[in-house]
Amino acid sequence: MFFKRVPEEIRNILFHVGHPAHVHFLKNTLWNLQERGYNIYIAATDKEVTLQLLNAYEFKYDVVGKNVIGMRNKALNAIKMEIKLLKLIKKYEVDLLVGVGSIYMAHAGILTRRHYINFGDTEISKFDWLLLPFSDVLIRPTCYKEEVHGDKEIRYNGYKELAYLHPNYFKPDPRVLEEMELSGDDRYIILRFISGTASHDIGLRGIRRGTEMDIIKSLEHYGRVFISSERKLDRNLEKYRIIIPPEKIHSLLYYADLYIGEGGTMAVEAAILGTPSIHIESTSKGIATGELSGNFIELRDNYGLLYFYPDQNKALEKAIEILENGNSKKEWQRKRERLLSEKIDVTAWMTDFIERYPDSFYENKN
């Protein structure tokens, strides 16, 4: 890994943000490093509400590309994005590269001999062969099932979602309830649909198209239903869409009585926030994707915070069981407290690792 140059001093750091979840994951670390005098630069991909979030948190950034659909388009887009990254590395005299599963940043690191710290955010990826050989460090949670990067891999005792949902950084804002025309006593459920265009979502199955209203009608017996969706919704579903600034979604998730849907990240977020959480997704062979993800298994088996199913009917049965229990929310909050007592402050760990790299790498390996 160290055929690349190791700078005598790290001052200029370039981060690649390719998804809204990356903004949340990195934001507190970015602020910490800025406060400590580092020059922080952000290369952003225009995907969903990524730029909106960066603006909301008042980050300066350079747009290096847009999210595109289709493998051929993604391949052509990758070349354009990597060229723009190379220009930014030269422009800002970058010492270190950091990203979240960014193939583009890994390749730029090879071409410029800069070290690339890659935070892994999924165990399900068909494109690790394009990423892992070109990363200098792969950082992943201890709960992930298999080691995939040999002596370059570092583990931490936490979840990526704790980087922004740990109580040291996240305080739920009850004013979000007023914006949604809810009182503190109103029950509500968040239903999530994903676009299915991300590389790690290709070939996976979620909620069957055309059955959405059946699910909503079943859930509406227990409270209002709100939809969070990456994809375009039919006219009869659009009225359920959540319309609040994206930076407020976690407060809304915190106060919810249930989360159910296709989004894996949001399922874990709900669980960590102490909201009953159900994930619906399967492989082409009908296996629940949660069975392939160490964080999902740990949150289910060790903490009882998250359930996952390949079949939406079984998921809906579990949802109704949870909603029928008037104490579910309090039970989940107690489970959350236990989880927090056993996990680290991920942001503090990330900040320290980046700030003291490469010494931090050797210390953690040992």
What pLDDT, in 10s, does the model give residues 4-16?
A: 777 778 999 999 9
Question: For position 51, what pLDDT does the model report?
Answer: 97
* In a domain? residue 164: no
Q: How far apart are CA 215 and CA 313, in angstroms?
A: 9
Average pLDDT across the chain, whole number: 92
CA 112: distance to chain centroid?
A: 28
Average pLDDT for 232-254: 95
Residues 219 and 276 in one domain: yes
Domain of residue 90, residue span: 12-158+344-365
How would you write the chain as a 3-class SS string?
A: CCCCCCCCCCCEEEEEECCHHHHHHHHHHHHHHHHCCCEEEEEEEECCCHHHHHHHCCCCCEEEEECCCCHHHHHHHHHHHHHHHHHHHHHCCCCEEEECCCHHHHHHHHHHCCEEEEECCCCCCCCHHHHHHHCCEEEEECCCCCCCCHHHEEEECCCCCHHHHCCCCCCCCCHHHHHCCCCCCCCEEEEEECCCCCHHHCCCECCCCCCHHHHHHHHCCCCEEEEEECCCCCHHHHCCECCCCHHHHHHHHHHCCEEEECCHHHHHHHHHCCCCEEEECECCCCCEHHHHCHHHHHHHHCCCCEEEECCHHHHHHHHHHHHHCCCHHHHHHHHHHHHHHHCCCHHHHHHHHHHCCCHHHHHHHC
Domain for residue 165, yes or no?
no
- pLDDT of 3: 64
pLDDT at 364 over 80: yes
Is the residue at 170 inside a domain?
Answer: no
Q: Does 187 lie in the same domain as 141?
A: no
**What is the spatial distance between Cα 116 and Cα 98, in angstroms, rounded to a whole number?**
6
* Tokens, residue 69: 């659909």
Residues 349, 337 share a domain: no
Please tell me whether residues 325 and 353 are part of one structural domain.
Answer: no
CA distance 167 to 174: 15
pLDDT tens-digit profile of 255-283? 999 999 998 999 999 999 999 999 999 99
Do 322 and 212 share a structural domain? yes
The confidence score (pLDDT) of residue 67 equals: 81
Please state the rounded mean pLDDT for residues 356-365. 94
Does residue 100 form part of some domain?
A: yes
Distances (CA, A) of 107 to 90, 129, 237: 15, 12, 41
Q: Is residue 247 part of a domain?
A: yes
Answer yes or no: do 149 and 218 share one domain.
Answer: no
Q: Would residue 276 count as lying in a domain? A: yes
CA 110, CA 348: separation in Å to the nearest integer?
28
222 vs 148, 196, 257, 296, CA distance in Å? 43, 29, 9, 26
Distance CA 7, CA 43 (A): 21
- The count of domains in the chain is 2
Question: 271, 262, 190, 176: which is closest to 223 by C-alpha?
Answer: 190
7 domain-assigned: no
Q: Is 331 found in the same domain as 195?
A: yes
Are residue 79 and residue 189 in the same domain, yes or no? Answer: no
Let me know whether 67 and 209 are in one domain. no
Q: What is the pLDDT of residues 111-156, one digit of tens each?
A: 999 999 999 877 756 666 677 888 999 999 999 987 776 789 999 9
Interval 193-234: pLDDT, tens: 987 444 444 557 889 999 999 999 999 999 999 999 988 899
Which backbone phi and psi does 300 adopt, to 5 degrees? Answer: -80, -55
**Among 277, 262, 188, CA closest to 231:** 262
The residues facing 62 across adjacent strands are: 43
- pLDDT tens per residue across span 14-64: 999 999 999 999 999 999 999 999 999 999 999 989 999 999 999 999 999
Q: Do residues 127 and 98 share a domain?
A: yes
pLDDT at 197: 44
Asked if residue 4 belongs to a domain, the reply is no
CATH of the domain at 100: 3.40.50.2000
pLDDT digits 0-9 by tens, 166-181: 999 999 999 999 999 9
296 in the same domain as 236: yes
Q: Is the dihedral of CA 3, 99, 90, 41 positive or negative?
A: negative
If asked whether residues 124 and 195 sit together in one domain, one would say no
